[in-house]
Amino acid sequence: MIDGGVEHTGTPTAYNGGHSHEQSFRFTHADFLAIAAIVRNETGISLKPTRSSFVYSRLSRRLRTLGLESFAAYCELLIQDGQSAERRALVSALTTNVTAFFRERHHFAYLRQRLIHTLAPRVHAGGRVRLWSTACSSGEEAYSMALTVLSVLPDATRYDIRILATDIDVEMLETARLGLYTRASVREHCRDTASLHWETGTDDRLQVPEAARSLVEFLPLNLIGAWPPLGTFDIIFCRNVAIYFDFPTQTALWRRLCDHLPERGLLSIGHSERIPSENIPGLHLCGITTYQWHPS
């Protein structure tokens, strides 16, 4: 851990011409603070000083790739105009992308219930349904929503049902669009979707069934930045992302998401996230980490 200007002495090993050698980069507390400020500004993610080893290990690869000798040089590069590509690489390096199909399964049970009782009858009557996975990472969350839709409405692609899947990390979005996952992850989490055909793709990975892929659109979106016109969503999943934001940023995000919920719309958040009800009147806990919007 870095404190009071003490330098990091991390010694990641680089491979070079068949000989491994030790390589380390000068990393001061001031460098950590500069990077934390850039990350906060770009993403809303609040990096505590206890995360300095994490920052060092995630970014030393970038320094090596760029041929830089110190974090100070990297910080200088980041603040130059025209370095938006490097700032995107910084975001990709420092975001935590852990996810899984049907993670926190109870949310998919609520989605299924809402589909059976409200949303399927609505689309059968010619109405529309919109769902949003707000921090979709490599796509498993959005595809799990799509697979849940198909479990209730096998012919969902004939109706006006769409799932918007967004993330700040454009590298993750590219992975998500491919829809290719290891057999182990599909076998472990998608047992109930056996009736759908998962095609074998490259590297012996399995590709999400075409019907599920066609329900989802992946787009870049920064939850703390400007949003395009989005309309409302019957159900929003905003899970395991606000945990990285400070409290005022979280509260502003919850308020903003409520602007995109219709009356009785649902907002599901991550297992370690909470929305203090006094902060958002109208948002009521109605299930495990799931809130219903009743503004009136």
Ligand X SMILES: C[S@@+](CC[C@H](N)C(=O)[O-])C[C@H]1O[C@@H](n2cnc3c(N)ncnc32)[C@H](O)[C@@H]1O
The identity of residue 289, as a single letter, is: T
The dihedral through the CA atoms of 161, 289, 247, 40 has a sign that is negative
CA distance 127 to 119: 9
How do 160-167 and 19-22 pair as beta strands? unpaired
Answer yes or no: is 213 a known binding residue: no
Cβ-based neighbours of 110, under 8 Å, separated by 6 or more: 235, 266, 268, 287, 290
Q: Using CB under 6 A, which of 99, 144, 207, 289 touches ligand X?
A: 99
Answer yes or no: is 16 a known binding residue: no
58: annotated active-site residue: yes
CA distance 255 to 283: 9
CA distance 147 to 80: 44
Is 173 one of the binding residues for ligand X (CB under 6 A)? no
158: annotated active-site residue: no
Q: Using CB under 6 A, which of 8, 62, 103, 114 touches ligand X?
A: 103
The nearer residue to ligand X, 112 or 122, going by C-beta atoms, is 112
Q: Using CB under 6 A, which of 115, 168, 206, 257 touches ligand X?
A: 168
Residue window 134-153: x/- pattern of binding to ligand X, with contact defined by CB under 6 A:
-x-x---x------------
126: phi > 0 → left, psi -120 to 50 → alpha, else beta; which?
Answer: left
280 touches 258 (CB < 8 A): yes
249 touches 273 (CB < 8 A): no
The nearer residue to ligand X, 31 or 141, going by C-beta atoms, is 141
Site for ligand X in 7-46 (CB under 6 A): 43-45
Is 175 one of the binding residues for ligand X (CB under 6 A)? no
Q: Using CB under 6 A, which of 98, 125, 194, 226 touches ligand X?
A: 98
Answer yes or no: is 222 a known binding residue: yes
Residues of this chain that interact with ligand X (CB under 6 A) are 43-45, 95-99, 103, 135, 137, 141, 167-169, 172, 222-224, 239-241, 270
Annotated binding site: 97, 99, 103, 141, 167, 222-223, 239-240
